[in-house]
A and B are shown apart, each in its own frame.
Chain A
Amino acid sequence: MAFEASPATPAMAIPSGSDGKPPSLGYNSFEPRALWNLILTLGLWAVAALGATPLLSVLYMLIVKGGARLNGELFTELPPAGFEMGGGIGNAIQGTLVTVAIASLISIPIALFAAIYLAELRPLSRISSVARFLAKVLTGFPSILAGVFVYAAVVLLMGSYSALAGGVALAVLMLPTITLTAEGAMHMVPQRMKDAAIGMGCTNTQVVWSVTLPTALPSIVTGIILAVARVAGESAPLLFTALFSNYWLRNITEPTASLSILIYNFSSMPFDNQIELAWAASLVLVMIVLGFNILSRFIGRPQV
Chain B
Amino acid sequence: MAFQLVLPDSKSVSQAPSPLAYAVDRTFFYAAAAGALAIILLVIYILWEIGGQALPAIGRSGASVLVNTQWDVQNSSFGILPQIWGTLYSSLMALLIGGFIGVSIAIFLTQDFLPHSLATVFRTLIEMLAAIPSVVFGLWGIFVVIPFVRPAADWLHDAAGFIPFFSTSLSGPGMLPAVIVLSIMILPTVAAISQDAIGLVPYKIKEAAYGLGATRWEAILKVILPTASGGISSALVLGFGRALGETMALAMLIGNANQISLSLFSPATTLAALLASNFPEAGAIERQALMYAALVLLAITLVVNVAGTLILLWTSRKMAKA
A-to-B contact residues, CB < 8 Å: 2-4, 6, 33-34, 36-37, 40-41, 44-45, 47-48, 50-52, 54-55, 57-58, 61-62, 65, 109-118, 120-122, 127-128, 130-131, 133-138, 140-145, 147-149, 151-153, 172, 175-176, 179, 201, 203-206, 208, 229-230, 232-236, 239-240, 243, 260, 263-264, 267-268, 275, 278-279, 282, 285-286, 289-290, 293
Contacts and interface: CB of A to CB of B under 8 A. Distances in A.
Given A152-B53, A267-B139, A51 B309 contact: no
A143 B247 contact: yes
Contacts of A240: 279-280
A239 B32 contact: no
B252 A131 contact: no
A48 B140 contact: no
B134 A286 contact: no
Nearest to B139: A267
A118 B107 contact: no
Contact of A286 (B45, B136, B241, B294): B136
A70 B24 CA distance: 51
Given A51-B101, A61-B144, A127-B40, A153 B49 contact: yes
B126 A233 contact: no
A51 B104 contact: yes
Given A34-B215, A113-B32, A127-B33, 12 more contacts: A52-B126, A54-B129, A55-B126, A140-B305, A141-B301, A144-B245, A144-B276, A145-B245, A205-B29, A268-B252, A285-B135, A286-B131
A145 B295 CA distance: 9
Interface stretch (B64-72, B159-167, B216-224): B216-224
A282 B49 CA distance: 33
Chain A CB count within 10 A is highest, among B107, B184, B238, B248, for: B248
A235 B35 contact: no
A199 B90 CA distance: 57
Contacts of A111: 35
A156 B166 CA distance: 45
Contacts of A121: 29, 32-33
B104 A44 contact: yes
Interface string B32-57: 11111111101101100110110000
Interface stretch (B14-22, B74-82, B196-204, B314-322): B14-22
Nearest to A297: B124
12 contacts: A2-B222, A33-B215, A37-B215, A127-B36, A138-B43, A140-B242, A144-B297, A203-B17, A229-B131, A232-B133, A260-B133, A267-B142
Interface residues of B, number: 92
Would you call the interface of chain B mostly helix, strand, loop, or mixed?
helix
B306 interface: yes
Contacts of B137: 58
A257 B297 CA distance: 27
Contacts of B191: 51
Contacts of A282: 133, 135-136, 139
B36 A131 contact: yes
Chain B CB count within 10 A is highest, among A4, A234, A235, for: A235
A232 B75 CA distance: 39
Given A51-B105, A57-B144, A260-B135, A140 B308 contact: yes
B113 A279 contact: no
B280 A142 contact: no
Contacts of B245: 140-145
Nearest to A43: B104
A290 B128 contact: yes
Contacts of A230: 131
B6 interface: no
Interface in B258-313: 272, 275-276, 279-280, 290-291, 294, 297-298, 301-302, 304-306, 308-309
